[in-house]
Structure 1
Amino acid sequence: LKKTAAAFICSPSNPQGAVASQAYLRELIALAEEFDFQIFSDECYSEIYRNDPPPSALAVAAQMGAHPERVVIFHSLSKRSNLPGLRSGFVAGGPESIRRLKQLRNYAGAPLPTPLQAVAARAWSDEAHVVQNRALYQEKYKIADDIMADFEGYKGPEGGFFLWLPVEDGETAALRLWRETGVRVLPGAYLSRDTEGRNPGKTYIRVAMVAPKEEMQQGLIRLKSCLQS
């Protein structure tokens, strides 16, 4: 911890859909205060959740009276509004962090065309479609829970729009699903790296619940039937 410069978290997480609790964030921020490192919190999925809104690391830091530069959070229209093509997001943090990010953008940032900025501004200012989007994903959680209830190791996500399903081998399962059912998933090993001689994602696949409800439902039925056979 004395050598730590920064800690990165994602809540709700991709791919597992886990949510960092207030207690988890308080413990992490307390460590960052003690050992003087920054926390970069990816909260792009924070408006897609099952029950309660996920706590924000920046809000928890403010409650704790942490150093104003301790936490930097990231948000995006990509998940909030299903608008990945706009490439619009924002960063919030202390004034020094924002100053340095603005300097970085001067050298490395890609400017967003004015028409896209106008569309993004409209999307950021509207909450109605966000509520509708969240309700749709909550319906999809219910569909997934109903279909996958007896799938060994299934755990519905707390947030985000992925299922993280245990399998014997992620690559083998992904290839079989594509060849036999036309369902496309991502091997879990592609989202992680080897640590202590093993890849922790090797025995998982990530399933994106982004298709229309009826299509997603049929896809999950085919996926389950294929994997259980």
Structure 2
Amino acid sequence: MNQDRVESLAQFHPFTRLNKLLEGVQSGGGNTPLLLSLGEPQFQPPSFATDAIANAKEMWAKYPPTLGNAEFRNAVRNWLVRRYGIEPGFVDPERMIVPVSGTREALFHIALSAVARGAPKGKGKVLMANPFYHTYAGAAVVAGGEPAFLPAGPETSFLPDPDAVPADLLREAAMVYLCSPANPQGSVASAEFWQRWLKLARQYDFLIAADECYAEIYTDAPPPGAIEAAQASGSCDNLLVFHSLSKRSSAPGMRSGFVAGDARYISRQAQLINYGGVAVPLPVLAASTLLWSDEEHVTANRVRYQASFDLAEKALGPIFGKVKPGGGFFLWLDVGDGEKAALELWRQAAIKVLPGGYMARVDATGRNPGAPYIRVALVYEPAQLAGALERMAGVLKSLVDAGGHKLASARGR
């Protein structure tokens, strides 16, 4: 990789930039630092999962098969049937499901596959919303493609409008990353949204990578899934869905998820794992099989997150209006200047958040659409968050009073 690409890759990593912003700045207020910058659930997964790993200890002596085992794939297929109401035969567990060592890795690898497939046809663009999850852009650069950023502001409910994408860009697209509930804003895509994008993907022959890692964390109704739209269209062609136990089951350290969909791309994903990826170890597969088969712990997780969002509404609602998202566990707050707010929250209250501008790029108008925002991850127990949210409100209100900036939640507009 040449030096220009190395530098381009570095600019997409938000936590590198956050570390630089806060370098040498003492966390203040006499408070224990609380890291609300990273989407890493701080809860324990169910004990039956850790017991399953311990009970399968003899399997650490075996190389894990790339496609996992039938028990895991069937558990995933059955979960897709329960969760999205698809027909049991719509997704073939033998050809259309592959376990992955975390969906971040899988989302990265799929760009290598899609860009390699598209490049001979002049299709090297990798489309994504702006703001975006940094792995999407990093994967595009490493794959030798070119990130193409689609507007996803409040005027489109923080999701990229398929009808607004120029035809020339669609013709050059190797793939598009679409995330629902969205990271960072928590917006939930409708069934119609998925259907419109699927129609374009097939018309212009590009892949949809549907990142649905937050699909089990929601406020009201369960978010529609891309695979539902695929069934309505009759096939999974040009679609892969990505799901993870990191958020659903509060098990980020297990590094376990799955990819399902278009058998052509599943085969290519398996080849990438064979050559340079990491197959999911058999003890982890045993635990994962149980987790995909259980809903009780997922319901308990949602109750916990709802309690946290209720606390956020109480503390921050008087400043921002409605802050509760449709899904996911992030607050996306318009604070006027995300970098300044992040710096002062760390300096005054020992709370680390992520400036929204670090998750976005300057658009055609010359502005960074994420710059006014901060992303706040509510990934601790509600009791731990209650005091932190009150401190956060105090700091942000003082910034409002000092700067005369009228803050307003994007969702409250």
- Note the C-alpha offset of 1:154: 4.7
Specify the alignment match of 1:157 in structure 2. 325
Q: For 1:77-100, what per-residue CA distance to the aligned partner results, in whole angstroms no more than 9, with x for missing partners? A: 111011101110000002212111
Residue deviations 1:172-223, cap 9 Å, x none? 1111101111111111122122233332111111111011102212111111
Matched AA of 1:152? F
Instruction: Name the counterpart of 1:187.
Output: 355
**Given residue 15 of structure 1, which amino acid in structure 2 is its aligned partner?**
P
Deviations 1:149-168 (A, max 9, x none): 22236532100000001112
- From 78, 89, 96, the equivalent of 2:246 is 78
1:96-154 C-alpha deviation (Å, 9 max, x unpaired): 12111111110121234443333333322222111111121122222222222222365
2: CA distance, partners of 1:9 / 1:215:
32
One-letter identity of the residue aligned with 2:373: Y
The list of structure 1 runs, each at least 4 consecutive aligned residues, that deviate by more than 6 angstroms after superposition, is none
Q: 1:36 — aligned with what?
A: 205
Determine which structure has greater relative contact order: mean sequence separation of CA pairs < 8 Å that are 6+ residues apart, divided by chain length: 2
CA–CA separation in structure 2 for the residues paired with 1:190 and 1:2:
29
- Residues 1:205 and 2:374 are matched in the alignment: yes
Give the corresponding residue for 2:224.
55
Distance 1:68 1:211, change over 3 A: closer
Query: How far apart, CA to CA, are the structure 1 residues paired with 2:279 and 2:238?
Result: 28
Cα 1:97–1:132 shift into 2, 3 Å:
same
Q: Distance in 2 between matches of 1:8 and 1:153?
A: 30
TM-score with structure 2 setting the length: 0.53
TM-score of the two chains, using structure 1 as the length reference? 0.93
Contact 1:69 1:97 in 2 (8 A): no
- 2:190 partner amino acid: S
What is the match of residue 312 of structure 2? 144
Q: Which consecutive unaligned segments of at least 5 residues does structure 2 have?
A: 1-169, 399-413
Partner Cα distance (2:306, 2:228) in 1:
25
Q: Say whether the 8 Å CA contact 2:217–2:327 is kept in structure 1.
A: yes
Shift of the 111–71 alpha-carbon distance from structure 1 to 2, 3 Å rule, reads closer
Rounded Cα–Cα distance in structure 2 between residues aligned with 1:114 and 1:57: 29
Asked if residue 126 in structure 1 is aligned to residue 294 in structure 2, the reply is yes
Q: Which residue of 1 aligns with 2:265?
A: 97
State the alpha-carbon separation in 1 of the partners of residues 227 and 269 from structure 2. Answer: 17
CA distance in 2, matches of 1:13, 1:29: 18
Partner of 1:11: 180
Identify the residue that residue 24 of structure 1 maps to in structure 2: 193
Tell me if structure 2 keeps the 8 A contact 1:11–1:46: yes
2:385 aligns with 216
Q: Take 2:321 and 2:369, find their aligned partners in 1: how far apart are those partners?
A: 15
For 1:102 and 1:78, how far apart are their aligned partners in 2?
21
SS for the counterpart of 2:240 is strand
Q: CA deviation at 1:73?
A: 0.3
RMSD of the alignment, in Å? Answer: 1.6
Determine helix, strand or coil for the equivalent of 1:151. Answer: helix
What's the counterpart of residue 106 of structure 1? Answer: 274
C-alpha separation in 1, matches of 2:218 and 2:302: 7
Distance 1:34 1:159 in 2: 30
Structure 2 residue identity aligned to 1:224: A
SS at 2:292 equivalent: helix
Aligned counterparts of 2:354 and 2:263: Cα–Cα separation in 1: 39
Q: How many residues were matched structurally?
A: 228
- Partner-residue secondary structure (3-state), 1:111: coil
Q: Larger Rg: 1 or 2?
A: 2
Whole-angstrom distance in 2 between the partners of 1:43 and 1:202: 25
Alignment partners' CA distance in 2, 1:33 and 1:99:
19
Q: Which piece of structure 1 moves more, 139-148 or 19-28?
A: 139-148
Partner AA of 1:212 in structure 2: E
